[in-house]
Amino acid sequence: MDMLKTPFLADMMRLSKEIYAKGWGEANGGNISMRITPEEMFPFQHCLTTGITTKLPFSLPELAGDYFLVTGTGVFYRNIADYPHESLGIVKISDDGNKTTMVWGYTSGGRPTSELPAHLLSHAVRKKNSQGKDKIVLHTHATNLIALSFVLPLDTRVVTKELWEMMSECVVLFPDGIGVMPWMMPGSLEIGHATAELMKSHSLVMWAHHGIFGAGKNMDQVFGLIETADKAAEMLLKVMAAGGKKQAITPEELKALANAFGLAPLAGVLD
Ligand code: 13P
Ligand code: ZN
């Protein structure tokens, strides 16, 4: 079977178009990674080769043997579906967890995204936290969330409460809130470690003045998570521009809403 016909590649190509259509992936802005287990990859072994091996600046034994379908650095979201072999690639994590080997794609001399540290460190955290269910880490330059990071205090609980107040779906889709971090050097090890630290307790992490990282079990779920947070951010910006809130969903109503779905909202936000 052709690798392009696998559900992994089909999903990646479909979502790349949607991300571009949303305006969240200008030029090479944003990147995606999808964890594929050795069992899931087994039927497609004949499509794989052994390419360049690269040492990682950390060791992640939790990911040993896993495969990652990852967008290439410098790749434009708008071109991924038309040029999948050049735009995408698959790397395998070594048995000791500290090397990657390219096993598919990245033709024309490509290599994985410059944000690979943030992706792999986040996957390691989310794999453990979700008992293996979380498979996707998605970074986009979501317009309204970025804009919001210029006007709200860069505080996890403040930003979480503001977004939850905007629409009922927010506390239901991200009861664990949105982790907020200051601007840091893109592609650095530092931004990678800081993101993974916040991913221990939040499925969404805001990179101030840059973008958003989301994690979850499949592409649609993570896309929906970011889409919902970005819509809430858009409404908040409109409300601010219109002179500010006159009323909002109250903390008691948000608690009752979370309770109705059997969810525990992030502590310290509604008290
Ligand atoms: P890459 O082109 O290396 O994926 O980087 C894009 C980006 O969004 C950096 O944060
Ligand atoms: Zn970015």
pTM for the whole thing?
A: 0.98
Active site residues: 115
**What's the whole-number average pLDDT of the chain?**
97
Query: Does some domain include residue 226?
Result: yes
Alpha-carbon distance of 204 to 191, in angstroms, equals: 15
pLDDT band at 97 (very low <50, low <70, confident <90, very high): very high
CB of 87 closer than 8 Å to CB of 113: no
CB of 240 closer than 8 Å to CB of 157: no
Tell me what the mean pLDDT of segment 93-107 comes to.
98
Q: Which domain holds residue 209?
A: 3-260
Asked if residue 1 has pLDDT above 80, the reply is no
Q: Ligand 1 in contact with 38 (CB < 6 A)?
A: no
**What is the predicted pLDDT for the residue at 268?**
98
pLDDT tens digits, residue range 222-245?
A: 999 999 999 999 999 999 999 999
pLDDT band at 2 (very low <50, low <70, confident <90, very high): confident
Ligand 1 centre distance from Cα of residue 29 (Å)? 5
Tell me what the mean pLDDT of segment 185-196 comes to.
98
Q: Ligand 1 in contact with 30 (CB < 6 A)?
A: yes
Query: Does some domain include residue 99?
Result: yes
Query: Does some domain include residue 270?
Result: no
Asked if residue 126 has pLDDT above 80, the reply is yes
Report the domain count for the chain. 1
Ligand 1 centre distance from Cα of residue 116 (Å)? 9
pLDDT tens digits, residue range 128-156?
A: 999 999 999 999 999 999 999 999 999 99
Alpha-carbon distance of 245 to 242, in angstroms, equals: 8
Query: Does some domain include residue 249?
Result: yes
Tell me what the mean pLDDT of segment 116-124 comes to.
98
Ligand 1 centre distance from Cα of residue 211 (Å)? 11
**What is the predicted pLDDT for the residue at 169?**
97
Query: Does some domain include residue 268?
Result: no
A 10 A CB-CB count for 42 gives 8
Asked if residue 196 has pLDDT above 80, the reply is yes
Alpha-carbon distance of 150 to 152, in angstroms, equals: 6
Q: Ligand 1 in contact with 74 (CB < 6 A)?
A: yes
Query: Does some domain include residue 83?
Result: yes
What percentage of the chain reaches a pLDDT higher than 90? 98
CB of 229 closer than 8 Å to CB of 178: yes
Nearest to 222 by CA among 27, 76, 69, 34: 34
Q: Ligand 1 in contact with 26 (CB < 6 A)?
A: no
Give the number of C-alpha atoms closer than 13 A to the C-alpha of residue 217, restricted to the C-beta side.
5
Query: Does some domain include residue 269?
Result: no
Atom from ligand 1 closest to the CA of residue 186: 10
Q: Which two three-digit tokens encode residue 253?
A: 């109503």
Give the sheet arrangement for strand 31-36, strand by strand: 53-55, 99-105, 88-93, 67-71, 31-36, 136-140, 211-216, 204-207, 178-181
**CATH number (domain holding residue 143):** 3.40.225.10
Query: Does some domain include residue 266?
Result: no
Which runs of consecutive H residues, i.e. helices, occur in the chain?
A: 7-22, 38-41, 77-80, 84-87, 116-129, 143-148, 156-166, 168-173, 189-199, 219-241, 251-260
Dihedral angle, C-alpha 63, 219, 129, 112, nearest 10 °: 30
Q: Which two three-digit tokens encode residue 169?
A: 């779906």
Residues by chain with Cβ below 5 Å of ion ligand 2? 211
